[in-house]
């Protein structure tokens, strides 16, 4: 089946000049991109007229906890350490709640232009329900389960041994990796050094190497948690991760706030990717991430919305704006993280971070047809010569008109085509109004 997206405009790298664009898709893959019309050459094709709107690669959200959508607005005004205890002791979902909470997060992500998520799900009896919700939503996802085998602070003790959590990860890979036409992939994810033993970290690297997948882990997020890890291992978190064999080009390090200068150079030397989550880092006062330092060292930086219980949003455009603004004020360098570089963090950097063999994040032949359409013009999105800046600093997810994943239109004219959004939201609202067990900090 062939699909033509005609009469759009887009950014053409490396200059990101805005030009007309027509995109021909066959099944799930882009096969032709042209500034010139193609419709008269294609008698048997499904046509979507973009009517001058802006089309960009679908955004890659490189760190999510989608089921936390039910926790938005409950755990406000808490510092990270308190927040972690509340989430681990009180955020307890039934299987139906876990599925619908994850699904709700997927809807918000899709409607704000995200086509791929790197989801760190919670280990527990409802793990499969969460992954099934992502698959049912139509999103592309690199999923993992947050495994730990050490009691972190005042959090509950782990209920599985090291070997059991590694078996859980292996079983998840065997069940889900490559399913749903390849939209769902799996990687290994020790949740973070404060909640993991050396044995689990080394076992995670061995398992990742055996399965041929990457590693996704929290790193140096909170000052207290980072110090606790130092007290246990007599070195920084990054130094311990190097010692245990975790670091490498297939490793995503999430947050990366309380880093030493040596840590920053280690991350660069091992060609790790970092994922910054600015809304979470500011809202629960994790700290100010040193992304400009890592950027100057050539580290690949991607962006994550994290969980809505800590960030409040799955809107990648909001996150991108905040990444740039925080970088500028941290360095007092007005040219830090210009719009074009932040746009790359949401697209091509995200692809490198996730390490997809799947080609996403660019609009070119041979790449997956994962695409986002932004309404243009609007009062805050006007004049093609300044459109990239306006997209990053003025647009939000509410400006998204359409989303395609694998060439399939999932959102068109801001309406979900494959789901009854009104009914889903009404059902979830009724469920949340009965979920009094969640409404305690």
Mean pLDDT by 10 residues, the chain (441 residues): 95 96 97 88 87 98 91 80 72 85 94 98 90 97 95 77 96 98 97 96 98 98 91 97 98 98 99 97 91 98 91 93 98 98 98 88 98 98 94 98 98 93 87 69 50
User: May I ask the CATH architecture of the domain 2-56+367-416?
Assistant: Roll (2.30)
DSSP SS3 for 184: strand
Residue 108, classed as helix, strand or coil, is helix
The 10 Å CB-count burial string (b at 16+, else e) for 19-50 is eebbbbbeebebebbeeeebeeeeeebeebeb
The pTM of the full predicted model, rounded to 2 decimals, is 0.95
- Give 191's contacts (C-beta < 8 A, 6+ positions apart): 120, 146, 147, 148, 217, 218
Helix axes 127-137, 162-176, angle to 10 degrees: 30
**In which residue are the tokens 């065997």 written?**
174
Q: Residues of CATH 2.30.40.10 domain(s) within the chain? A: 2-56+367-416
d(CA 437, CA 116): 31
- Tell me if residue 236 falls in helix, strand or coil: coil
Any residues with CB less than 8 A from the CB of 241 and at least 6 apart, and which? Answer: 193, 201, 217, 219, 247, 251, 253
CA distance 224 to 219: 12
Specify the pLDDT at position 157: 74
What six digits make up the tokens of 201? 């970290």
Residue 127 in tokens: 């793990």
pLDDT, residue 436, reads 65
Q: Is 401 helix (H, G, I), strand (E, B) or coil?
A: strand
Instruction: Quickly count: other Cβ atoms within 10 Å of residue 241's Cβ.
Output: 31
Rounded distance between C-alpha atoms, residue 154 and residue 173, angstroms: 30
Question: Domain 59-354: which topology?
Answer: TIM Barrel (3.20.20)
Q: Is 258 exposed, middle or buried (0-12, 13-18, 19+ CB in 10 A)?
A: buried
pLDDT of residue 357: 73
Residue found under tokens 């647009």: 395
């Amino acid at each position: 089946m062939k699909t033509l997206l005609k009469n759009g405009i887009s950014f053409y790298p490396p200059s990101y000049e805005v030009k007309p664009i027509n995109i021909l898709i066959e099944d799930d893959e882009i096969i032709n991109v042209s500034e010139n019309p193609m419709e008269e050459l294609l008698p048997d094709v499904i046509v979507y007229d973009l009517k001058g709107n802006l089309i960009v690669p679908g955004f890659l959200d490189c760190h999510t906890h989608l089921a936390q959508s039910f926790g938005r607005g409950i755990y406000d005004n808490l510092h990270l350490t308190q927040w972690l205890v509340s989430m681990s002791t009180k955020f307890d979902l039934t299987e139906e709640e876990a599925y619908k909470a994850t699904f709700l997060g997927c809807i918000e992500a899709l409607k704000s232009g995200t086509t791929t998520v790197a989801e760190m799900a919670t280990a527990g009896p409802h793990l499969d329900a969460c992954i099934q919700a992502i698959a049912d939503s139509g999103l592309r996802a690199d999923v993992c389960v947050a495994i730990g085998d050490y009691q972190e602070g005042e959090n509950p003790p782990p209920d599985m041994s090291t070997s059991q959590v590694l078996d859980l990860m292996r079983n998840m890979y065997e069940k889900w990796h490559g399913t749903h036409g390849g939209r769902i992939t799996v990687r290994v994810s020790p949740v973070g050094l404060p909640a993991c033993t050396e044995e689990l970290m080394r076992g995670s690297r061995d398992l990742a190497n055996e399965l041929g997948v990457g590693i996704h882990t929290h790193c140096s997020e909170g000052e207290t948690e980072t110090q606790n890890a130092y007290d246990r291992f007599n070195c920084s978190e990054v130094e311990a991760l190097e010692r245990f064999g975790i670091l490498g080009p297939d490793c995503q390090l999430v947050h990366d706030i309380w880093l030493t200068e040596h840590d920053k150079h280690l991350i660069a030397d091992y060609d790790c990717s970092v994922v910054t989550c600015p809304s979470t880092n500011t809202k629960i006062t994790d700290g100010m991430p040193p992304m400009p330092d890592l950027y100057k060292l050539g580290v690949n930086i991607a962006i994550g919305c994290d969980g809505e219980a800590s960030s409040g949003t799955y809107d990648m455009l909001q996150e991108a704006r905040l990444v740039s603004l925080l970088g500028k004020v941290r360095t007092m360098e007005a040219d830090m993280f210009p719009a074009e570089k932040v746009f790359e963090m949401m697209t091509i950097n995200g692809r490198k971070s996730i390490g997809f063999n799947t080609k996403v994040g660019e609009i070119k032949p041979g790449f997956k047809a994962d695409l986002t359409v932004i309404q243009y013009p609007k009062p805050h999105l006007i004049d093609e010569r300044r459109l990239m800046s306006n997209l990053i600093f003025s647009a939000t997810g509410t400006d998204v008109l359409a989303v395609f994943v694998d060439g399939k239109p999932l959102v068109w004219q801001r309406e979900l085509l494959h789901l009854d959004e009104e009914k889903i939201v009404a059902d979830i609202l009724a469920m949340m109004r009965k979920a009094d067990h969640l409404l305690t900090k």
